[in-house]
A and B are shown apart, each in its own frame.
Chain A
Amino acid sequence: MQRYIADRILQAILCILVMSALVFFLVRLTGDPVEYLISDQATQADYDRIYKAYGFDRPFYVQYVLFLKNMVTGDLGDSLYLHRPVASILRTRFPATLQLAVAAILISLVVGLPLGVYAAVGRGTGLDVSARFLAVLGQSMPPFWLGLMLILVFSVWFRLLPSGGKGGIANLILPAITLSSWLLAGITRLTRSSMLDVLGTEYVKLARIKGASEPKVIWKHAFKNALLPVVTFSAVMSVILVAGAVITETVFAWPGLGQLVIQSVIRRDFPVTQAVVLLMAVLYIIANLLVDIAYAFLNPKIRYSR
């Protein structure tokens, strides 16, 4: 098993390296940032000076090696537009996105798990049909439109909740619901199918025969065993949620990483763009790695190999 885990870690590192190269070069191909930094009156000499000051005159691979070296030491460079260290910008933006994502994940788990469980228990009933419909609906709804419609209903018509910006809990409700729609649908769906599998097994039948109460059968015997695929799915999806917050943050003017990345792409602000994209990719790769390692521990076939 050590070999399997070592192999997976190696693969993850390779993945991160390739990603960093890809992001580095792609981001640099999107346009010349110096043109966004200087005024119309600037002379060619000014241009050359700024070009040199940022090190853009060096060959790409030298810039890349420098970039890697700085990454490892935690120096993400300065934003070309905001003239502040990227690391400090990330520190102010990341908590906002995290707050939104955590709220969305909580909603998805609190609603999705029981809904999936009871849909499976009462297979074919009205609850099951509505849960399944809700799941398909959640995965078919364009998130930006759902956000706008929530604003229309709750902010414009009923004037109950603010339509955007960051502040108290009230500001968090609509964006969190918007962001959770997709994950909620996935969790409901997966919990239901996973529970259906477990409910058909011998040991659940045995628990019933031996006279365990229905809630005990459902929650203690079945649910505990049905949880594994749901947990791994949620782990990976939660990270994707952070990346997917771009749309929700745009709709609700939420000052997080998503908004930042859109603005920085438009302003050709390389250091910020590559830092955010890399951060997301690394998070995603690590989440996947952890899931694989967890599986290795849980799956005897891998655990006892070599």
Chain B
Amino acid sequence: MNPDPKENRAWFTKKLFRGWRLAVVPHVPATILCIFILVALFAPQLSPYSPTEAHFLDKLMPPAWVEGGSSEYILGTDFMGRDVLSRLIHGSRVSMTVGMLVIVVAGSLGTVIGVISGYFGGWIDILLMRFTDITLSIPAILMAIILVALFGASYFNIILVIVLLLWPRYARQIRGDVLNVKEQEFVALADVAGCSHIRIMWQHILPNVLPTILVLATLQVGWVIILESSLSFLGVGIPPPQPAWGVMVAEARGLVSSAWWIALFPGLAILFNVLSLNILGDWLRDRLDPKLRSI
């Protein structure tokens, strides 16, 4: 590590791309993830129908390859005659936006609190970490249910609630990292050179905890997507008729014996999405910082 922030960044890039060969990147999950992102971006162009448009004459049509299915609805229709494929495509938008927004907001908040807590130490540290511990001790799903009942179920509130539950995980981990970085010589040197606290934190400490932030972010997008879909499934998440994957599975609950396709496809979408994120996250962690293996 080096006192010059530019070289710090170079060190980070070198570590990430060290011996970079295409063969090393987990191809399959990376490709799957790219497909999901593209589908989310171009949802209106890709989906054959509107996700909320009901075709009551074509209720509960099975997928095209099953007997009784029609090529008009490749993955079949649900109990209101809505096209499952179109809902699936639009659902990726919901999951991706919730996942990314939550990670950006909770990650930034947790990082700021973790860096401040670790850097200053003393009573600020004690106060912030006690607060973090209390927040961490709340059973996430139960608190989410209460908070959503309190604020009402909406897009914005789901994001808010998951942010409230997620930031302490960042704060804890980042604080630990900052404690290590703080002891290194270049921080003392920067202090002697007359850098302000803010400059030291921003230019010297933050680049060194960046790998942790990145690994946590990748691994936790999956957790966020599962939590969001679980809440939607329980009826305290994204309100219907919005095509969230969790909502789709919830709507299919009573129909699982007659219309299995309505439940199967959204679940598979969640599974592939989260699986790719987790495999990529594991890979990134091993690559950047093997000592993070415990997360």
- Tell me the complex Cα distance, A200–B141, Å: 39
Chain B proximity of A24: nearest CB distance (Å):
11
A277 adjacent to B137 (CB under 8 Å): no
B150 touching A26 by the CB < 8 A rule? Answer: yes
Contacts A18-B134, A26-B147, A143-B230 given: A148-B278 contact, CB under 8 Å?
no
Distance of A151 Cα from B256 Cα, bound (Å): 8
In contact, B146 and A140 (Cβ under 8 angstroms): no
Residues from chain A with Cβ under 8 Å of B130 in the complex: 11, 14
Q: Any chain A CB within 8 A of the CB of B267?
A: yes
Closest to B274 in A: A140
Which label, helix, strand, loop or mixed, suits the secondary structure of the A interface?
helix
Task: Confirm or deny: B142 has a beta carbon within 8 angstroms of a beta carbon on chain A.
Answer: yes
B142 to chain A, nearest CB (A): 5
| Chain B at the A interface: SS class | helix
User: For the complex, is B7 an interface residue (Cβ under 8 Å from A)?
Assistant: no
- Is A148 within 8 A of B137, CB to CB? no
A27 adjacent to chain B (CB < 8 Å): yes
Whole-angstrom distance between the Cβ of B157 and the nearest chain A Cβ: 13
Contact flags B9-26 to A (C-beta < 8 A → 1, else 0): 000000000000000000
Q: Which residue of B lies closest to A28 (CB)?
A: B150
User: A145 contacts B141, CB within 8 Å?
Assistant: no
* A136, B230: Cα distance in complex, Å: 18
The range of chain B's interface size is 35 or more
Q: Judging by beta carbons under 8 Å apart, are A247 and B233 in contact? A: yes
Range of interface residues on A (Cβ < 8 Å): 35 or more
Which residues of the partner chain A approach B178 to less than 8 Å between Cβ atoms?
none
Chain B residue contacts of A139, Cβ below 8 A: 222, 278
User: Which residues of chain A are within 8 angstroms of B279 by Cβ–Cβ distance?
Assistant: 136
Q: Using CB atoms, name the residue of chain A closest to B138.
A: A281
| A246 and B134 contact, CB distance less than 8 A | no
Are B149 and A265 in contact, CB atoms less than 8 angstroms apart?
A: yes
A220 to B108, CA, bound (A): 46
Which of B37-45, B110-118, B257-265 contacts its partner?
B257-265
Complex CA gap A243/B230 in Å reads: 13
Distance in Å: Cβ of A146 to nearest Cβ of chain B: 8
Q: CB-CB contacts of A1-42 with B at 8 A, as 1s and 0s? A: 000000000010011001100110011011100000000000
Contact yes or no, B249 A140, CB < 8 A: no
User: From residue B61, how far is it (CB to closest CB) to chain A in Å?
Assistant: 18
Q: What's the minimum C-beta distance from A15 to chain B, rounded to whole angstroms? A: 5
Asked whether, in the complex, the Cβ of A136 is within 8 Å of the Cβ of B142, the reply is no
A148 touches B252 (CB 8 A): yes
Flag B280-293 by CB within 8 Å of A: 1 or 0 each: 00100000000001
A31–B146 CA distance with the chains assembled, in angstroms: 11
Given the known A-B contacts A142-B271, A143-B230, A152-B260, are A15 and B142 also in contact in the complex, defined by CB atoms under 8 Å?
A: no
Which of B250, B266, B271, B279 has most A Cβ within 10 Å? Answer: B271
Q: Does A77 touch B at the CB level, under 8 Å?
A: no
Q: How far is the CA of A137 from the CA of B270 in the complex (A)?
A: 12
Closest to B257 in A: A156
Q: Is the CB of A144 within 8 A of B233?
A: yes
**How far, in angstroms, from A285 to B250 measured CA to CA in the complex?**
32
Measured between beta carbons, the chain B residues less than 8 angstroms from A14 are 130, 134
Complex CA–CA separation, A240 to B139 (angstroms): 7
Q: Which of A97-116 touch B at CB < 8 Å?
A: none
Contact partner of A277 among B146, B222, B266, CB < 8 A? Answer: B146
Interface residues of B in 216-257 (CB under 8 A from A): 222, 226, 229-230, 233-234, 236, 246, 249-250, 252-253, 256-257
Q: Does A238 contact B (CB under 8 A)?
A: no
Determine whether the beta carbon of A273 is less than 8 Å from that of B271. Answer: no
Q: Do A276 and B263 contact each other (CB < 8 Å), given the known contacts A140-B222, A140-B278?
A: no
Of B145, B278, B282, most A-chain CB atoms within 10 Å: B145
User: Is B234 within 8 A of A246, CB to CB?
Assistant: yes
Q: Which of A19, A142, A151, A265 contacts B134 (CB 8 A)?
A: A19
Nearest chain A CB to B87's CB is how many angstroms away? 15
Q: Which listed residue (B253, B260, B282) contacts A136, Cβ 8 A?
A: B282
B143 part of interface (Cβ distance < 8 Å): yes
B109 at the interface (CB under 8 A from A): no
Give bound CA distance, A240 to B133, whole Å. Answer: 15
B275 within 8 A of A: yes
CA distance A31 to B233 in the complex (A): 22
Task: Tell me whether A144 and B134 are in contact (CB under 8 A).
Answer: no
6 A-B pairs within 8 Å (CB atoms) are namely: A142-B226, A152-B263, A156-B256, A247-B234, A262-B234, A288-B137
User: Considering the complex of A and B, which 10 residue pairs feature the smallest CB-CB distances, nearest first?
Assistant: A145-B267, A243-B139, A140-B275, A140-B274, A156-B257, A30-B150, A144-B233, A280-B139, A30-B149, A265-B149
